C-alpha cells in the first residue's frame, strides 16, 4: 500500500509594513513554481498560506519524509521569492530565514521550519494544519498534551474504545539535540515535567499506542542553528483526526483559553496565543499578539481536498472563537502593563533583543562588593 506524506515547510523571507504580512506577489510566485512541480508529478497537490510574516507550503506527495527532492523544491520556492520579489521590492527582512546559500539535500537546519507526516491513508483521513506567528515550537506543548493526553479535553480518551490505549509523545531536547519517547497515560507526569519547559523540550511527533502516526510539529530553533539569536521559529503542526484519533473539535478545544507563549514583540515577551481565521492572520498590537490559524482538509488518494477545491476549512473562523479572541486581547493588554519586567518580558537567555551586555559593561567599574 502506497503511503502518503504531508509536508509543511515554512519561512519568513520578507514582508510589507514591517513584519505584518508577505506581499501577494510572493504567494502568487510560490503557486506558479509549485504548479510546475505538480504537473511533472513531483508533488500530488499543494496549498500556499500566510500567517503574519510567514509563508507556508503544504505539499502532499508519495516520496516520504526528509525527501531531498521535496526539500529542494521548497528551498527553491523560498529562494526565488526572496530574489525575484522580496529583494526587488525592498520588502522588510527579505530572505530573513534562509541562513545559508548552499542547499545540501535537507532543508532542516537551514532556517525554514518543517513538519512532515507519512501514513497509510484510511478509508477517510481528515487532517488539521496549525500555523502560528510570533512564537516558537514549544507553544504546541500545552495544546498537544491536552489533545492527546488530557481526558478533560478529549472525551474519546475516556469513552471511545479506539483511543483508550493512549499515545506516545516524542520529545526533543532542542538544546542538547536528543529525543525521548514517553507513553501516556502511564508516563503523563514525566511527560509534563519535560513539556512545561517550553523553550527546551518540544513535542516533535505523536504516535498512537499501536504506532500509527498522529501528529508532527516543526521543532528547529533558528537561534541554535545560527549560533546567535536570529528570531523565534514561528511553528507549524500537522494533526490527524477522527476514527481512532481525537475529533476535530477535541483538537481545536485547547485553543479556546489562550495560553501564554514566548515570542511576540522582538521575540522577547510572553503573550497569549490568539486563534484567528486565515483572513485575520496578521499581527498588529505590539507586533501581535501571537496568532494561530487552523486549516482543515481531507487527504484523498494522495491529495489535499478542501471545502472549495484546495481551499481549506478555516477552522477558527467560527464566531465561537470571538470569545477566545476577546480573552486574548484582554490578556495582551494586561501583560503590557508590566512593561519590561519578567515574566511579561522573557528570561535574558530567551530574548531576541537585549541591551543587558552593554548596560553591564558600562556599569562594570561602578559595581562594588556588597
Ligand atoms: C518578532 C518580530 C518583530 C520585530 C520588531 C522589531 O519576531 O519579528 O516583533 O522583532 O518589529 O524589528 P526590527 O528590529 O526589524 O525593527
Ligand atoms: Mg519578519
Ligand atoms: Mg513570523
**Ligand 2 geometric centre to CA of 360 (Å):** 29
Question: Which cell numbers in the block locate residue 266?
Answer: 522582538
232 is catalytic: yes
- What confidence score (pLDDT) does residue 343 get? 97
List 97, 201, 229, 234, catalytic entry: 229
Report the distance separating Cα 86 and Cα 106, nearest Å.
23
Ligand nearest to the CA of 113: 3
Contacts of residue 221, defined as CB under 8 A and 6 or more positions apart, other chains included, come to 136, 137, 174, 233
Question: Which cell numbers in the block locate residue 267?
Answer: 521575540
Report the distance separating Cα 321 and Cα 314, nearest Å.
12
Q: Ligand 1, closest atom to CA 93? A: 15
**Residues 158-189: tens digit of each pLDDT:** 999 999 999 999 999 988 889 999 999 999 99
Report the distance separating Cα 119 and Cα 62, nearest Å.
10
Average pLDDT of the chain? 94
Query: CB of 168 within 8 A of CB of 210?
Result: no
- What confidence score (pLDDT) does residue 156 get? 97
- What confidence score (pLDDT) does residue 350 get? 86
- What confidence score (pLDDT) does residue 223 get? 65
Provide residues with CB under 6 Å of ligand 1: 18-19, 134, 231-232, 265-267, 287
For residue 68, how many other CB atoms are within 10 A of its CB? 13
Distance of CA 261 to the CA centre of its chain: 12
Distances (CA, A) of 86 to 44, 201, 283: 28, 34, 19
Distances (CA, A) of 142 to 117, 153, 250, 331, 332: 20, 12, 14, 18, 19
- What confidence score (pLDDT) does residue 365 get? 95
- Tracing cell 499515545 back to the chain, one arrives at 167
Distances (CA, A) of 359 to 265, 291, 348, 356, 366: 21, 33, 13, 5, 11
Q: Whose CA is nearest to atom 13 of ligand 1?
A: 266
List 21, 146, 205, 232, catalytic entry: 232
Q: Ligand 1, closest atom to CA 231? A: 7
For residue 58, how many other CB atoms are within 10 A of its CB? 26
Q: Ligand 1, closest atom to CA 234? A: 7
Distances (CA, A) of 282 to 7, 30, 55, 299, 330: 23, 19, 12, 27, 18
- What confidence score (pLDDT) does residue 227 get? 62
Report the distance separating Cα 146 and Cα 154, nearest Å.
7
Helices (H), the chain: 24-39, 68-80, 141-149, 156-159, 188-195, 222-226, 248-252, 320-336, 356-363
- Tracing cell 478542501 back to the chain, one arrives at 306
For the chain, residues with pLDDT lower than 70 are: 221-232
Distance of CA 162 to the CA centre of its chain: 28
Beta pairing partners, 263 = 269
Backbone angles phi, psi at 140, to 5 degrees: -80, -15
Antiparallel, parallel or unpaired: β 113-119 and 178-184: unpaired
287, 289, 345, 351: residue to mutate for ligand 1 pocket, most atoms within 8 A of CB:
287
**Ligand 1 geometric centre to CA of 89 (Å):** 19
**Residues 61-107: tens digit of each pLDDT:** 999 999 999 999 999 999 999 999 999 999 999 998 888 777 778 88
Amino acid at each position: 500500500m502506497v503511503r502518503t506524506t504531508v509536508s509543511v515547510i515554512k519561512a519568513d523571507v520578507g514582508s510589507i509594513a514591517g513584519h505584518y504580512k508577505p506581499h501577494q506577489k510572493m504567494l502568487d510566485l510560490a503557486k506558479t513554481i509549485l504548479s510546475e512541480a505538480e504537473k511533472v508529478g513531483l508533488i500530488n497537490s499543494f496549498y500556499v498560506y500566510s500567517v503574519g510574516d510567514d509563508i507556508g507550503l503544504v505539499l502532499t506527495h508519495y516520496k516520504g519524509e526528509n525527501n531531498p527532492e521535496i526539500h529542494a523544491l521548497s528551498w527553491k520556492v523560498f529562494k526565488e521569492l526572496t530574489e525575484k520579489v522580496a529583494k526587488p521590492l525592498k520588502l522588510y527582512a527579505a530572505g530573513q530565514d534562509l541562513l545559508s546559500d548552499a542547499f545540501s539535500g535537507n532543508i532542516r537546519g537551514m532556517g525554514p521550519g518543517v513538519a512532515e507526516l507519512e501514513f497509510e491513508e484510511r478509508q477517510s483521513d481528515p487532517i488539521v494544519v496549525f500555523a502560528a506567528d510570533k512564537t516558537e515550537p514549544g507553544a504546541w506543548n500545552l495544546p498537544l498534551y491536552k489533545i492527546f493526553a488530557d481526558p478533560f479535553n478529549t472525551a474519546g480518551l475516556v469513552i471511545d474504545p479506539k483511543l483508550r490505549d493512549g499515545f506516545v509523545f516524542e520529545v526533543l531536547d532542542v538544546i542538547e539535540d536528543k529525543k525521548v519517547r514517553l507513553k501516556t497515560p502511564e508516563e503523563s507526569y514525566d511527560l509534563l515535567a519535560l513539556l512545561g519547559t517550553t523553550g527546551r523540550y518540544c513535542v516533535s511527533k505523536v504516535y498512537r499506542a499501536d504506532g500509527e502516526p498522529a501528529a508532527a510539529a516543526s521543532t528547529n530553533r533558528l537561534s541554535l542553528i545560527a549560533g546567535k539569536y536570529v528570531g523565534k521559529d514561528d511553528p507549524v503542526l500537522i494533526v490527524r483526526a477522527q476514527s481512532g484519533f481525537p475529533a476535530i473539535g477535541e483538537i481545536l478545544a485547547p485553543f479556546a483559553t489562550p495560553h501564554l507563549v514566548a515570542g511576540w514583540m522582538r521575540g522577547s515577551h510572553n503573550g497569549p496565543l490568539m486563534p484567528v481565521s486565515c483572513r485575520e492572520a496578521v499581527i498588529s498590537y505590539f507586533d501581535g499578539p501571537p496568532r494561530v490559524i487552523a486549516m482543515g482538509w481531507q487527504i484523498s488518494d494522495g491529495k489535499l481536498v478542501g471545502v472549495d477545491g484546495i481551499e481549506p476549512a478555516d477552522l477558527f473562523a467560527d464566531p465561537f472563537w470571538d470569545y477566545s479572541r476577546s480573552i486574548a486581547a484582554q490578556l495582551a493588554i494586561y501583560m503590557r502593563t508590566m512593561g519590561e519586567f519578567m515574566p511579561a518580558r522573557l528570561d535574558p537567555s530567551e530574548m531576541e533583543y537585549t541591551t543587558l551586555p552593554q548596560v553591564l559593561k558600562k556599569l562594570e567599574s561602578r559595581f562594588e562588593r556588597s
